[in-house]
């Protein structure tokens, strides 16, 4: 599990085809590789991925993950290439502060940025949610976009908006977001469970 609070910015160094429908992605990071266990989970722009290698050179620290066909199909991972910047968060440990909201790292779909309004030190993003996910998004509720825990401001049909504060613009990939960008969307777990309970006979 994760909290949606980003603690590092990563950069894709290499993308290699390992097998049909499987890519190995090597990511530069600020984490000490000695503290990353093989098999550990790291959320990479919101996608929970398993560490399969880690190391360091004089110039950089890095870890590698494998992205399978389904991940490549339903998330932005299919478009990652060297130079792509990623929001990183290590898995929540017992006793850690829960500063955002509970995030699983299982992406529900891709949201498209359809508007950006730059305010003094802030930005308001308007996004179009996948039709099947829109019903789980509510005003004042939580969403995770590219791994970042955010509060929804307004909802109009399949479109919703979020306000990005100065700190988030500085420490995540959001500062460079433009209209047309696609983002990994994870709706609030509680909203999904509530909807499932309502469907139960």
For residue 152, is it within any domain? yes
Q: Which residue in the block uniquely carries the two structure tokens 């990623």? A: 86
Q: Which residue in the block uniquely carries the two structure tokens 């994870």? A: 186
Q: What is the pLDDT of residue 188?
A: 86
Average pLDDT, the chain: 92
For residue 54, is it within any domain? yes
Q: 13 in helix, strand or coil?
A: strand
Q: For residues 171 and 26, is the Cβ–Cβ distance under 8 A?
A: no
Q: What is the pLDDT of residue 58?
A: 83
The verdict on 14 and 81 lying in the same domain is yes
CATH number at residue 34: 2.40.30.20
Total structural domains within the chain: 2
pLDDT digits 0-9 by tens, 76-129: 999 999 999 999 999 987 666 666 678 999 999 999 999 999 998 899 999 999
pLDDT over 90 (residue 20) = no
pLDDT digits 0-9 by tens, 184-194: 999 987 776 66
Q: Which domain covers residue 151, as residue numbers?
A: 109-199
What is the mean pLDDT of the segment spanning 57-67? 94
Q: What is the pLDDT of residue 199?
A: 65
The verdict on 84 and 124 lying in the same domain is no
Half-sphere exposure (CA, 13 Å, Cβ side) for 125? 26
| Alpha carbons 90 and 38: distance in angstroms, whole number | 13
The verdict on 118 and 53 lying in the same domain is no
């Amino acid at each position: 599990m994760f909290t949606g609070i980003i603690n590092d910015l990563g950069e894709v160094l290499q993308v290699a085809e390992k097998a049909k429908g499987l890519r190995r992605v090597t990511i530069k990071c600020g984490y000490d590789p000695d503290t990353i266990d093989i098999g550990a989970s790291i959320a990479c722009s919101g996608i929970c991925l398993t560490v399969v290698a880690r190391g360091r050179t004089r110039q950089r620290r890095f870890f590698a993950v494998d992205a399978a066909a389904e991940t490549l199909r339903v998330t932005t991972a299919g478009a990652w290439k060297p130079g792509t910047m990623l929001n990183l968060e290590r898995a929540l440990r017992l006793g850690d502060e829960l500063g955002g909201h509970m995030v699983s790292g299982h992406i529900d779909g891709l949201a498209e940025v359809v508007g950006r309004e730059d305010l003094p030190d802030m930005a308001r993003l308007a996004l179009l949610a996948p039709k099947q996910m829109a019903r789980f998004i509510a005003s004042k509720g939580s969403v995770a976009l590219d791994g970042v825990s955010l509060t929804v401001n307004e909802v109009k049909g399949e479109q919703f908006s979020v306000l990005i504060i100065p700190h988030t613009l500085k420490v995540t990939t959001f500062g460079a977001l433009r209209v047309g960008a696609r983002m990994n969307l994870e709706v609030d777990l509680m909203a999904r469970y509530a909807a499932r309970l309502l469907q139960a006979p």
